[in-house]
């Protein structure tokens, strides 16, 4: 019975259909967010799987530094029902204060048995920085009272010299 296992595996491998349903790992944009900047999650994929824009979805929740975004979608396991376009969809998540966060991307769909299932599409760790540093302060030269007095005295001396030179 087990003598022809290799041949049986080869035949089954040749008969297997390629997997056409996919969601690639999600990623965020911008890749290095700064405080207050809106963050979006990008989910590449489709063909047999798709995210559907139903009212109330996506649902974004946050507990501490753990953020979860839940989408509603479809997952087709029948190759004849695979007709969705390939691409990447971007969805706003929010803007955050500086710190380290974890974005958990989930998909809720109706399984083949008619019950709701939830799959995790990916977990994206990211860090929000404090933003652009303030411009460096450059000291501006100013005159204090003694400096201003010396400047006025010098101007008066120059003016006096100019007046005497015109008279002579």
Structure pTM?
0.62
Residues 67, 72, 75: CA angle, nearest 5 degrees: 120
Confidence of residue 6 (pLDDT cuts 50, 70, 90): low
Q: Give me the pLDDT at residue 64, please.
A: 93
Strand, helix or coil at 139?
A: coil
Question: Which tens digit of pLDDT belongs to each residue from 104-132?
Answer: 999 998 887 888 989 898 999 999 998 65
pLDDT at 140 over 90: no
Give the pLDDT confidence score for residue 20 in this predicted structure.
46
Which of 19, 17, 107 is CA-nearest to residue 68? 107
Question: In this structure, what DSSP letter does residue 3 have?
Answer: T
**Can you give the pLDDT at residue 157?**
86
Task: Provide CB contacts within 8 A for 52, sequence distance 6+.
Answer: 72, 73, 74
CA atoms within 13 A on the CB side of 122: 15
Phi, psi of 24, deg, nearest 5: -75, 165
Please say if the pLDDT value at position 14 is more than 60: no
* Stronger pLDDT, 103 or 165, i.e. the higher one: 103
The pLDDT tens digits of the residues spanning 77-108 come to 777 767 766 777 889 999 999 999 999 999 99
Calculate the dihedral angle through the C-alpha atoms of 22, 24, 30, 36, rounding to the nearest 10 degrees: 70
| Boundaries of every domain in the chain | 16-128
Looking at residue 98, what is its pLDDT?
A: 93
**Whether 81 contacts 19, CB under 8 Å:** no
């Amino acid at each position: 019975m087990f003598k022809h296992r290799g041949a049986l595996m080869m035949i089954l491998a040749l008969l297997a259909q390629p997997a056409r349903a996919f969601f690639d790992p999600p990623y965020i944009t911008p890749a290095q967010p700064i405080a207050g900047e809106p963050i979006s999650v990008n989910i590449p994929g489709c063909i047999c799987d798709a995210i559907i824009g139903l009212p109330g979805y996506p649902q974004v929740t946050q507990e501490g530094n753990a953020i979860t975004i839940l989408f509603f979608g479809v997952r087709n396991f029948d190759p004849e029902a695979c007709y969705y376009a390939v691409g990447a969809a971007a969805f706003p998540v929010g803007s955050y204060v500086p710190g380290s966060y974890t974005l958990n991307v989930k998909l809720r769909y109706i399984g083949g048995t008619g019950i709701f299932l939830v799959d995790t599409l990916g977990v994206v760790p990211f860090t929000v920085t404090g933003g652009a540093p303030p411009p460096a302060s450059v000291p501006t030269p100013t005159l204090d009272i003694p400096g201003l007095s010396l400047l006025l005295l010098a101007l008066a001396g120059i003016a006096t010299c100019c007046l005497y030179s015109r008279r002579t």
